[in-house]
Protein backbone atom coordinates (compact mmCIF):
# COMPACT_ATOMS: atom_id res chain seq x y z
CA UNK A 1 0.00 0.00 0.00
CA UNK A 2 2.77 2.40 0.94
CA UNK A 3 4.65 1.43 -2.20
CA UNK A 4 1.58 2.28 -4.27
CA UNK A 5 1.23 5.62 -2.49
CA UNK A 6 4.86 6.59 -3.07
CA UNK A 7 4.73 5.65 -6.72
CA UNK A 8 1.57 7.74 -7.17
CA UNK A 9 3.12 10.77 -5.49
CA UNK A 10 6.38 10.48 -7.44
CA UNK A 11 4.43 10.13 -10.67
CA UNK A 12 2.40 13.27 -9.96
CA UNK A 13 5.56 15.17 -9.04
CA UNK A 14 7.25 14.06 -12.23
CA UNK A 15 4.23 15.14 -14.28
CA UNK A 16 4.27 18.58 -12.65
CA UNK A 17 7.99 19.04 -13.18
CA UNK A 18 7.85 18.05 -16.85
CA UNK A 19 8.50 20.94 -19.17
CA UNK A 20 5.29 22.00 -20.86
CA UNK A 21 5.12 22.66 -24.61
CA UNK A 22 5.63 26.38 -25.41
CA UNK A 23 2.05 26.90 -26.61
CA UNK A 24 0.65 25.48 -23.38
CA UNK A 25 3.04 27.55 -21.21
CA UNK A 26 1.91 30.71 -22.99
CA UNK A 27 -1.73 29.80 -22.42
CA UNK A 28 -1.11 29.14 -18.72
CA UNK A 29 0.75 32.43 -18.26
CA UNK A 30 -1.96 34.32 -20.09
CA UNK A 31 -4.79 32.95 -17.97
CA UNK A 32 -3.07 33.39 -14.60
CA UNK A 33 -2.84 37.13 -14.11
CA UNK A 34 -1.91 38.83 -10.87
CA UNK A 35 -4.79 40.79 -9.39
CA UNK A 36 -4.42 44.54 -9.27
CA UNK A 37 -6.62 44.92 -6.20
CA UNK A 38 -4.69 45.25 -2.98
CA UNK A 39 -6.47 43.61 -0.08
CA UNK A 40 -4.01 44.92 2.49
CA UNK A 41 -2.30 48.28 2.50
CA UNK A 42 0.19 49.89 4.81
CA UNK A 43 -0.56 53.45 3.65
CA UNK A 44 -2.76 55.62 5.80
CA UNK A 45 -6.44 56.26 5.17
CA UNK A 46 -5.63 59.83 4.14
CA UNK A 47 -4.58 58.58 0.72
CA UNK A 48 -7.74 56.56 0.19
CA UNK A 49 -10.06 57.76 -2.54
CA UNK A 50 -12.83 59.89 -1.11
CA UNK A 51 -16.30 59.41 -2.54
CA UNK A 52 -18.45 62.39 -3.47
CA UNK A 53 -20.64 62.25 -0.35
CA UNK A 54 -17.67 62.43 2.01
CA UNK A 55 -16.00 65.10 -0.08
CA UNK A 56 -19.12 67.28 0.06
CA UNK A 57 -19.45 66.68 3.80
CA UNK A 58 -15.84 67.76 4.39
CA UNK A 59 -16.16 70.94 2.33
CA UNK A 60 -19.56 71.92 3.70
CA UNK A 61 -18.87 71.08 7.36
CA UNK A 62 -17.94 74.67 8.22
CA UNK A 63 -20.56 76.54 6.21
CA UNK A 64 -24.33 76.80 6.69
CA UNK A 65 -26.34 74.06 4.96
CA UNK A 66 -27.40 74.66 1.37
CA UNK A 67 -31.19 75.17 1.47
CA UNK A 68 -31.88 73.01 -1.59
CA UNK A 69 -29.54 70.12 -0.69
CA UNK A 70 -27.09 68.23 -2.85
CA UNK A 71 -28.05 67.08 -6.34
CA UNK A 72 -29.04 63.43 -6.22
CA UNK A 73 -29.45 62.70 -9.92
CA UNK A 74 -26.54 64.53 -11.58
CA UNK A 75 -23.95 64.45 -8.79
CA UNK A 76 -21.26 66.00 -10.94
CA UNK A 77 -23.13 69.31 -10.67
CA UNK A 78 -22.28 69.50 -6.94
CA UNK A 79 -18.69 70.36 -7.82
CA UNK A 80 -19.13 73.20 -10.31
CA UNK A 81 -21.40 75.98 -11.53
CA UNK A 82 -23.95 74.15 -13.67
CA UNK A 83 -26.91 76.53 -13.37
CA UNK A 84 -29.43 73.75 -12.85
CA UNK A 85 -28.53 71.93 -16.08
CA UNK A 86 -28.32 68.15 -16.04
CA UNK A 87 -28.54 65.21 -18.43
CA UNK A 88 -31.80 65.19 -20.39
CA UNK A 89 -33.39 62.16 -21.98
CA UNK A 90 -35.61 61.77 -25.00
CA UNK A 91 -36.07 60.25 -28.42
CA UNK A 92 -34.06 60.75 -31.57
CA UNK A 93 -36.65 60.80 -34.34
CA UNK A 94 -35.74 59.95 -37.93
CA UNK A 95 -36.72 62.27 -40.78
CA UNK A 96 -37.55 59.52 -43.26
CA UNK A 97 -40.83 58.16 -44.56
CA UNK A 98 -41.21 55.77 -41.61
CA UNK A 99 -40.69 57.53 -38.32
CA UNK A 100 -38.39 55.58 -36.04
CA UNK A 101 -37.53 56.56 -32.51
CA UNK A 102 -34.45 55.60 -30.55
CA UNK A 103 -33.57 56.70 -27.03
CA UNK A 104 -30.75 59.16 -26.51
CA UNK A 105 -29.33 61.61 -23.97
CA UNK A 106 -28.31 65.24 -24.13
CA UNK A 107 -25.44 66.12 -21.82
CA UNK A 108 -24.84 69.70 -20.64
CA UNK A 109 -22.06 71.66 -22.29
CA UNK A 110 -19.53 71.91 -19.47
CA UNK A 111 -16.05 73.43 -19.70
CA UNK A 112 -13.21 73.94 -17.25
CA UNK A 113 -12.71 77.64 -16.86
CA UNK A 114 -10.39 79.88 -14.91
CA UNK A 115 -12.53 82.73 -13.60
CA UNK A 116 -11.12 85.65 -11.64
CA UNK A 117 -12.90 86.61 -8.45
CA UNK A 118 -12.32 90.21 -7.36
CA UNK A 119 -13.74 89.59 -3.90
CA UNK A 120 -11.44 86.65 -3.17
CA UNK A 121 -8.62 88.16 -5.25
CA UNK A 122 -7.80 84.82 -6.85
CA UNK A 123 -8.36 82.85 -10.02
CA UNK A 124 -10.89 80.06 -9.52
CA UNK A 125 -10.62 76.91 -11.62
CA UNK A 126 -14.14 75.57 -11.95
CA UNK A 127 -16.29 73.37 -14.12
CA UNK A 128 -18.84 75.76 -15.58
CA UNK A 129 -21.75 75.20 -17.94
CA UNK A 130 -21.57 77.49 -20.98
CA UNK A 131 -25.06 78.71 -20.11
CA UNK A 132 -23.66 79.95 -16.77
CA UNK A 133 -20.65 81.51 -18.54
CA UNK A 134 -23.07 83.69 -20.51
CA UNK A 135 -24.87 84.65 -17.30
CA UNK A 136 -21.55 85.52 -15.60
CA UNK A 137 -20.64 87.79 -18.53
CA UNK A 138 -24.08 89.37 -18.40
CA UNK A 139 -23.89 90.15 -14.67
CA UNK A 140 -20.30 91.41 -14.83
CA UNK A 141 -18.27 88.72 -13.11
CA UNK A 142 -18.37 85.65 -10.89
CA UNK A 143 -18.87 87.67 -7.72
CA UNK A 144 -22.00 89.39 -8.99
CA UNK A 145 -23.40 86.12 -10.29
CA UNK A 146 -22.82 84.25 -7.04
CA UNK A 147 -24.02 87.07 -4.76
CA UNK A 148 -27.42 87.42 -6.46
CA UNK A 149 -30.25 87.34 -3.89
CA UNK A 150 -33.15 85.92 -5.89
CA UNK A 151 -34.37 82.48 -4.80
CA UNK A 152 -34.12 81.11 -8.36
CA UNK A 153 -30.46 82.13 -8.54
CA UNK A 154 -29.66 80.54 -5.18
CA UNK A 155 -31.32 77.32 -6.33
CA UNK A 156 -29.25 77.27 -9.52
CA UNK A 157 -25.97 77.92 -7.67
CA UNK A 158 -25.65 74.36 -6.46
CA UNK A 159 -23.32 73.22 -3.71
CA UNK A 160 -20.13 74.71 -5.20
CA UNK A 161 -21.79 78.05 -5.85
CA UNK A 162 -23.13 78.07 -2.28
CA UNK A 163 -19.59 77.49 -0.98
CA UNK A 164 -18.23 80.34 -3.15
CA UNK A 165 -21.04 82.61 -1.96
CA UNK A 166 -20.17 81.87 1.67
CA UNK A 167 -16.46 82.51 1.08
CA UNK A 168 -17.28 85.83 -0.59
CA UNK A 169 -19.68 86.93 2.15
CA UNK A 170 -16.98 86.31 4.75
CA UNK A 171 -14.62 88.79 3.08
CA UNK A 172 -14.78 92.13 4.95
CA UNK A 173 -14.56 94.38 1.85
CA UNK A 174 -17.36 92.40 0.12
CA UNK A 175 -19.59 92.54 3.20
CA UNK A 176 -19.28 96.34 3.34
CA UNK A 177 -20.74 96.76 -0.18
pLDDT single digits (tens) 141-157: 999 999 998 999 999 99
- Residue 157 resides in a domain: yes
Between these two residues, 76 and 11, which has the higher pLDDT value?
76
- CATH number of the domain encompassing residue 152: 2.30.170
Q: Is pTM, for the whole model, over 0.85?
A: no
- Residue 123 resides in a domain: yes
- Residue 118 resides in a domain: yes
What is the Cα 136 distance to its own chain's centre? 24
- Residue 107 resides in a domain: yes
- Residue 40 resides in a domain: no
- Residue 10 resides in a domain: no
- Residue 7 resides in a domain: no
Domains in the chain, number: 1
Amino acid sequence: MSQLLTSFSTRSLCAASKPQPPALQHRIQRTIKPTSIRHFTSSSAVYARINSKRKLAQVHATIPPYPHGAARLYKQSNFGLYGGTRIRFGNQVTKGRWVKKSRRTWKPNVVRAGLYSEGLDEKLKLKVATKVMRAIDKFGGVDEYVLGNKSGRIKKLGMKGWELRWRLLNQPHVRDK
